[in-house]
Chains A and B, each alone.
Chain A
Amino acid sequence: MRIKSLVLASAFAMALGTVGIAAAQDTPPAITPVACEEPGELTMWVWDENWATIIGEAINEWTTDYCPGATVDLQVQPWANYWELLRTNVAGGDMPDVFNMSQTNVGFYQENEALLDLQPYLDAAGIDTAVWGSGMIDPYRSGEEGDLYALPVNWDTIAVYYNKDLFDAAGLEYPTAEWTWDDFAADAEALTDADAGVYGAAVYSEYQAGWPNWVAATGVEPVIASDHTTCTLTDEGSLEGLNFLKGLLDAGYMPTISDLGGSSADDAFNAWLAGRVAMVAGGSWKLPTALESADFNWEVVQLPRNPETGRSRSIVHSVGYVGAASTDTPDLAANLIIFLGSDAGQRYFAEAGGVAPAAPSQQQTWIDAFGTDEVNIQTFVDALQDSQGVTVFDEVWNIGNTELPVNIFDLGMSVEEATALGCEAVDTAVAGM
């Protein structure tokens, strides 16, 4: 009896879950901005000129419809120097009121209480933070209550880009979202053509687009746990994921970093664009490049599922808007941030068609903005459902992003040795903080 009721209960829960998803797909939850109480002056930093143009348009709507009389000095800083510049300005006592933040960098500012707590403002505006997926916002939560300190601007997930022409030539069926690691390995083998210099796959490069996705599929948080202290590189799941990839490399189905010409995900992606690699793990941010530059037929599919857990998991990263704790006008800063994160503010990003907007209601607009029926862009939205938020941060970034893959996929170190070395480096970095 008890078993039966348990089964019934879980079936009921599943039905509810399905309904929940269906409802979400029919009418995505709305995020509605509110009018400001008192206009004033704000300075705001962004790190991308294209975004600055888009955000500039959004701000115009805010100053016209929601906060007449307010002015925003929108400054664009070079991405490559953004974080050093921010730390310089913070140390010099000159923090912008509102600025862009990433999940890998937010920890430092949260720990030092330098950010404005947005939770009270969200509560007052009646915005339920559940509208955003947990992978997008969890890294931006802090404190005992899990207050939210950043509103997501946009997100990106990872999928497998594959060359349909090479699949056809090898007589293979195209993969589906249900495919497993075993299917992936079999395809990689069949697609490899050593004489023609074609490799089956290149999927390990860097943190976000690379090997951590495979570790996440085993249920392990890659590199470091979300407590920001425990190294997970030597966990069983990490070893399983890395050994799977190392096996493909040793079998000759994947190129080494030296063969690719570099350890960046761009190097792998360029090899795919050049037809030298049949399948590559790539971010949603690569869609415009692929649409413009690939001179073969291609498609995207979700990462293959781990055979034991049955999970396909993508690393998700979301850029956020934050306010400075030191701002003279916290109410105004929070009001602007909420507007920029709302459906009204996000519409500008969705229509521009570059990065995917965080507001759920805007995602179809974003997909449509690419104007293609050839590629199933919805794949990247689907990848959000079971996604892994970023747990690494500046001090340990290189360890997982470059050092570990270089050791394993270029210098021929064993997974066990490289992960042990990696954990040593993580422990040193954590102890030094």
Chain B
Amino acid sequence: MSTLLNIFGRTPRARRKAFWGLALIAPNTIGLLVFFGIPVLVAFGLSFFEWNGIRAPEFTGLDNFTRIFRDPLFGRALANTLTLALLVVPLNMALALGAAVLLNQRLPLRNLFRTIYFLPVVTSTVAASVVWIWIFQPRLGLIGIVPGLGTLQWLTRPELVLIPIAAVTIWQRVGFDMILFLAGLQNVPRALHEAAVIDGANSRQRFFNITLPMLSPTTFLILTLNFISVFQIFDQVYIMTQRTTPGGVSGSATTLTFLLYQTGFTRSEFGYASAIALALFVIVLSITVIQLRLQRRWVFYESEAG
């Protein structure tokens, strides 16, 4: 009995803390396991079957997984998704951080600007689609104010279509990340800045030596969430391509999540869709694990440094 208890800690205090910890996490963890864990297991199981939703599922072993490697559309969707990640994540994080830092100052009209930057989060996607399609419309669109860009067929040329999609993704995302950065900036102790000012540090030095390191837990959170969300890009593709050709001409705008959705809900290949989901999961998980490993090198937790 005592050895069993030792799992929870060697001292009574450690054991008490362990029980408290488990009690605290229990409601959310159990809920997540029941309402998301069970469906995930079912979906995992489904990836070994062929099932169209009507007839009985048929066990096909690893067929769905070998099919992934033969499916040219999967390769294209993976390439599109990775391209989007490269286009979106760095630019979006830089813009969100910039907006948060600027709007963390006591600027006149600060509240108005913050509200405006938050607008895309609440604007209807139908409205957004009409406006963004208009912005990128050849000859008539707003993009024409930049010389040379107005005559390009942004939404139908396979080699261009990811750029408008990246633009809409950043547009939708930047206000959201700005909020997280703003919240994070509140955790930068004022005293550190004051001390640095006394030491004669200028604002740029203070930004790079104080603000950025102290903000690193938030930056890590946002980076992780950015990668996860960029791999789940779906709405933007739907918004920007539904009126021309859903998923882009020859699949040029099809992302992994879009492919997964199409495979499942318009083609009723639920087994293969589950296999695609599993592949997507493994890819994002690998990226997240790498990030978790790397965070030890650059993320600074105040309570640990304490």
Residues of chain A having any CB pair with chain B under 8 Å: 83-84, 87-88, 90-91, 108-109, 112-114, 257-259, 261-264, 267, 394-395, 398, 401-403, 406-407, 410-411, 425
CA distance A83 to B268 in the complex (A): 11
Q: Are B244 and A406 in contact (CB under 8 A)?
A: yes
What would 25 A/B residue contacts be, using CB atoms closer than 8 Å? A84-B266, A90-B53, A91-B53, A91-B270, A108-B268, A109-B54, A112-B52, A112-B55, A257-B156, A258-B137, A258-B138, A258-B156, A261-B134, A262-B133, A262-B137, A262-B243, A264-B243, A267-B243, A398-B246, A402-B249, A403-B249, A406-B249, A411-B157, A411-B249, A425-B250
A87-B265, A394-B267 as given contacts; A402 in contact with B244, CB under 8 Å: yes
Q: Are A87 and B53 in contact (CB under 8 A)?
A: yes
- Specify which of B243, B246, B249, B270 is in contact with A407 (CB 8 Å cutoff): B249
CB-based nearest A residue for B67: A432
- Specify which of B245, B249, B250, B265 is in contact with A88 (CB 8 Å cutoff): B265
Let me know if B114 is at the binding interface, CB within 8 A: no
CA distance A257 to B270 in the complex (A): 35
Q: Are B53 and A84 in contact (CB under 8 A)?
A: no
Let me know if B140 is at the binding interface, CB within 8 A: yes
A87-B268, A112-B52 as given contacts; A258 in contact with B246, CB under 8 Å: no
CB-based nearest A residue for B157: A411
* Least CB distance, B159 to chain A, in whole angstroms: 11
Let me know if B153 is at the binding interface, CB within 8 A: yes
CA distance A83 to B261 in the complex (A): 12
If A87-B265, A398-B246 are given as contacts, then 12 extra A-B residue pairs at C-beta distance below 8 Å, sorted by A number, are A91-B54, A112-B54, A258-B137, A258-B138, A259-B139, A262-B133, A262-B243, A402-B245, A402-B249, A403-B245, A410-B156, A411-B249
* Least CB distance, B240 to chain A, in whole angstroms: 11
* Cβ–Cβ < 8 Å partners of B153 in chain A: 258, 410-411
CB-based nearest A residue for B133: A262
* Cβ–Cβ < 8 Å partners of B55 in chain A: 112
- The B41-65 residues at the A interface (CB cut-off 8 A) are 51-55
* Cβ–Cβ < 8 Å partners of B134 in chain A: 261
- Specify which of B52, B139, B245, B270 is in contact with A263 (CB 8 Å cutoff): B245
* Cβ–Cβ < 8 Å partners of A84 in chain B: 265-266
Q: Are B156 and A411 in contact (CB under 8 A)?
A: yes
- Specify which of B51, B156, B244, B266 is in contact with A83 (CB 8 Å cutoff): B266
Complex interface bits, B125-153 against A, C-beta within 8 A gives 1, otherwise 0: 00000000110011110000000000001
A112-B52, A262-B244 as given contacts; A394 in contact with B138, CB under 8 Å: no
* Cβ–Cβ < 8 Å partners of A261 in chain B: 133-134, 137, 140
Q: Are A406 and B245 in contact (CB under 8 A)?
A: yes
CA distance A403 to B133 in the complex (A): 17
* Cβ–Cβ < 8 Å partners of B244 in chain A: 257, 262-263, 402, 406
Q: Are B54 and A90 in contact (CB under 8 A)?
A: yes
CA distance A258 to B134 in the complex (A): 11
CA distance A346 to B202 in the complex (A): 79
- The B205-236 residues at the A interface (CB cut-off 8 A) are none
CA distance A262 to B51 in the complex (A): 36
CA distance A258 to B133 in the complex (A): 11
CA distance A398 to B134 in the complex (A): 22
